[in-house]
């Protein structure tokens, strides 16, 4: 009886294509002047890389729904790199020192994290409650706003669960978890929420008109000293800063889910954001144990979503081409280079592999990559059929409330384990 065909080389070729798609967009971010190699590496290894070591791209996007992916990808695909040749800047991209992104450095005494002791969070949903509990755990007083007492009660319950999770993992003590929960207060009144705030973080729904109205309110109601930030994953700081009279104090602070279990986030400067604002926010996040990645200028999709969509574009191309199923792609990512990305970003990994080896991989794979500018047909089919992922109970996978909760618990446990290993 003949032996079954060896699929190892095929899977290796697919992994190389997926890796190349990620590196191509990373180089494009540096070429555009939007980010340094160090910022890209920091963001990847502290957020999306950790997630990709636990779950592949199809699993991850299923959590938010293919209808929303259609919107996000539809915007970003128009602007992603379609390079078929190695960038002239490739060598210099690998010639960077390890470490975090370069935050603005101000004269001694001109900024202090102690000045930010009162934080207001507008929006108590999936991201908002995690942002609130993390600042409360760092000793800050937090006011949390949403539209109804029921939403706020649910947020407090989830914050309590999150704090207990941190305590159970040894990140904080049980007493600290109780004290942190006591530092979070809630209100349905925006003026009451922000009147004493040193920092306001907006975490409302992804609707630009809504965000503009919120920032106009915040500009009127928050103290003149307050920095106004947005957790939006879609909109540029310039778009919502224009609704205020303090654009120099407006900045993007984009977290990844779950915000309190991932050490990274993106800080996005708008064209008017001052050095003082960027330095203060960077120092604040570092003081609470985060590892921020600073974008030198605003760009659609920032670092993380551009890289995630670039990876998804190639992953859907592989599936549409019949080379692998979505489940096989997910398994391949999480068991190969996803694990690497959890500890090192794409530039660090390329440097470790060697300049000439990485160049050869790029030369071979760049011409093979998808250059699609429109939403993949595979995604459109899921949206048209209502197979939106977790919220519909079906997508590329079948989901029950129990399996979805088990997936989230596995992700949380895995991320906590990585954090403990890094310490």
Residue 70: exposed, middle, or buried by beta-carbon count in 10 A (0-12, 13-18, 19+)? middle
- CA pair distance 34, 40, nearest whole angstrom: 10
Residue 106 is encoded by which pair of tokens? Answer: 């101000």
Active site residue 206: no
- CA pair distance 152, 124, nearest whole angstrom: 6
- CA pair distance 122, 195, nearest whole angstrom: 13
Q: Which of 230, 231, 305, 414 is the catalytic position?
A: 305
14: Cα within 13 Å, side-chain hemisphere: 25
* Positive or negative torsion for Cα 252, 255, 260, 262: negative
- CA pair distance 323, 184, nearest whole angstrom: 50
* DSSP letters for 253-309: EE--SSTTT--EEEEEE-TT--HHHHHHHHHHHHHTT-EEEEESS--TTTTHHHHHH
Residues 6+ apart with CB under 8 A from 98: 38, 41, 348
Q: Which of 62, 254, 257, 260 is the catalytic position?
A: 254
Residues 6+ apart with CB under 8 A from 172: 137, 163, 166, 180
Active site residue 7: no
Q: Which of 26, 81, 138, 233 is the catalytic position?
A: 233
Question: Three-class SS string for 53-76?
Answer: CCCCHHHHHHCCCHHHHHHHHHHH
Place of tokens 């592989």: 318
Residue 86 is encoded by which pair of tokens? Answer: 């190695």
**Bridge partners for 227 per DSSP:** 199
- CA pair distance 262, 79, nearest whole angstrom: 27
Q: Please say whether the beta carbons of 378 and 319 come within 8 A.
A: yes
Residue 163 backbone dihedrals phi, psi, to 5 degrees: -65, -40
Residue 232 backbone dihedrals phi, psi, to 5 degrees: -55, 140
Active site residue 402: no
Active site residue 370: no
Active site residues: 233, 254, 266, 305
């Amino acid at each position: 009886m003949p032996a079954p065909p060896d699929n190892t080389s095929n899977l290796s070729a697919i992994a190389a294509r997926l890796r190349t798609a990620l590196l191509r967009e990373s180089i494009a971010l540096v070429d555009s002047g939007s980010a340094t190699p160090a910022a890209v590496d920091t963001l990847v290894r502290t957020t999306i890389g950790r997630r990709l070591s636990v779950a592949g791209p199809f699993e991850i996007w299923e959590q938010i729904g293919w209808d929303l992916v259609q919107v996000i990808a539809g915007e970003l695909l128009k602007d992603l790199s379609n390079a078929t040749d190695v960038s002239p800047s490739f060598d210099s991209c690998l010639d960077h020192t390890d470490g975090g992104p370069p935050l603005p450095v101000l004269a001694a005494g001109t900024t202090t994290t102690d000045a930010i002791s009162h934080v207001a969070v507008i929006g108590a949903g999936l991201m908002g409650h995690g942002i609130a509990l993390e600042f409360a755990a760092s000793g800050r007083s937090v006011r949390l706003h949403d539209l109804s007492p029921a939403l706020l009660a649910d947020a407090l319950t989830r914050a309590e669960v999150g704090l207990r999770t941190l305590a159970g993992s040894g990140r904080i003590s049980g007493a600290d978890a109780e004290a942190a929960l006591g530092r979070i207060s809630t209100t349905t009144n925006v003026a009451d929420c922000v009147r004493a705030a040193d920092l306001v973080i907006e975490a409302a729904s992804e609707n630009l008109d809504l965000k503009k109205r919120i920032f106009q309110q915040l500009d009127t109601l928050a103290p003149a000293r307050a920095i106004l930030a947005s957790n939006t994953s879609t909109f540029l700081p310039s778009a919502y800063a224009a609704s205020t009279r303090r654009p120099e104090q407006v900045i993007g602070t984009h977290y990844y889910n779950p915000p309190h279990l991932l050490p990274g986030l993106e800080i996005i400067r708008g064209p008017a954001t001052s050095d003082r604002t960027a330095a203060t926010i960077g120092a604040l996040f570092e003081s609470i144990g985060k590892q921020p990645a600073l974008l030198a200028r605003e760009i659609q999709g920032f670092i993380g979503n551009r890289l995630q969509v670039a990876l998804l574009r190639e992953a859907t191309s592989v599936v549409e081409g019949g080379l692998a199923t979505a489940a096989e792609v997910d398994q391949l990512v999480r068991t190969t280079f996803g694990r690497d990305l959890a500890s090192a970003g794409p530039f660090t990994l390329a440097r470790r592999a060697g300049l000439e080896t990485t160049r050869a991989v790029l030369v071979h794979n760049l011409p093979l990559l998808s250059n699609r500018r429109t939403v993949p047909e595979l995604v459109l089919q899921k949206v048209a059929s209502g197979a939106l992922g977790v919220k519909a109970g079906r997508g590329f996978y079948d989901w029950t409330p129990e399996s979805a909760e088990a997936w989230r618990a596995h992700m949380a446990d895995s991320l906590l384990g990585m954090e403990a290993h890094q310490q």
